[in-house]
Amino acid sequence: MSILELKNICYTYGVGTPFEKKAVNDVSFSVNKGELIGIIGHTGSGKSTLVQMLNGLMKPTSGQVLLDGVDIWDKPKEIRKIRFKVGMVFQYPEYQLFEETVYKDISFGPFNKGLSQEEIDKEVRRAAKFTGIKDELLYKSPFDLSGGEKRRAAIAGVIAMDPDVLVLDEPTAGLDPMGRDVLLSQIVRYHKERQNTVLLVSHSMEDIARVADRIVVMNKSKLVMFDETQKVFARGDELEKIGLRIPQITKIMSQLRKRGVDVPEGILTVDSAVDYLLPFIKKEAR
């Protein structure tokens, strides 16, 4: 069942000026409830503009965004309500922290949603747990946290609103490899436990390969692929032609297959590669 559907979405910057540019051009796809969708594309492909139309931060020049079958712009004066249902985490979300304490920052969304103090406390602590923020950090200034902790606090502020759809625009950007892995695993755990819908924009093909059910591929403002993760990365030559690359381990396995090693297509993670290669390694060791 579709929770989110885009119908012929277009967005044009600078309409009627010499700088007019179509950032999103006739994009249509639907997302099922409970899916984790990856969104990839080179810089300037239209990814960020696309996701900002999903919760009404930007209004399409033409086309429709449907949430549970209803156009989100059907009642323009109530567009604020959509932002509680479709939560948005921007790139470098820690720049949005502003309150005296982490607790107050996380509670800002639930408070504006009109929840009671008891409900706010419940949502704040649940969001903090999902993002790995310890209780003792809740009463610190967000500006005293480490970079990774700030990132998790900012994401917790969106999760605390309990959105039906969570949109994350490059949530791991700028983090070290360990911090990226920790944050990504927390997002996956949140998705599995809450059974909600997640859209993840990322430049990391490895991250997308690990977690996404299906992938949206954008190129020059258009949707060029939308399919299951393995099927998208099986089209490695096409991805490279538009400036993207398949996960490194997938490329290595492809080279092994060309050299006669009997490994299947669609290996996307190191763990999967180990499972298939271990028998060959053991055989050679004998």
What's the rounded Cα separation, in Å, for the pair 48 and 55?
12
User: Does residue 38 sit within a domain?
Assistant: no
User: Does residue 39 sit within a domain?
Assistant: no
User: Does residue 44 sit within a domain?
Assistant: no
- Cα 240–Cα 246–Cα 251 angle in degrees, nearest 5: 105
The C-alpha torsion from 137 through 141 and 143 to 149, rounded to 10°, is 10
User: Does residue 253 sit within a domain?
Assistant: yes
User: Residue 135 pLDDT more than 80?
Assistant: yes
Q: Grade residue 285 by pLDDT with cuts at 50, 70 and 90.
A: low
CB 233 within 8 A of CB 248: no
Count of domains observed in the chain: 1
pLDDT tens digits for 76-125? 999 999 999 999 998 888 888 889 999 999 999 999 999 999 999 999 99
User: Does residue 283 sit within a domain?
Assistant: yes
User: Does residue 205 sit within a domain?
Assistant: no
Q: Which domain holds residue 251?
A: 247-286
Torsion over CA: 141, 157, 95, 93 (sign): positive
Q: Grade residue 60 by pLDDT with cuts at 50, 70 and 90.
A: very high
Residue 70: beta bridge partners?
67
For every residue of 212-243, DSSP letters joined together read: -SEEEEEETTEEEEEEEHHHHHTTHHHHHHTT
CB neighbours of 107 closer than 8 A, spacing ≥ 6? 120, 121, 123, 124, 160
User: Does residue 97 sit within a domain?
Assistant: no
**pLDDT computed for residue 257 by the predictor:** 76
What's the rounded Cα separation, in Å, for the pair 72 and 66?
6
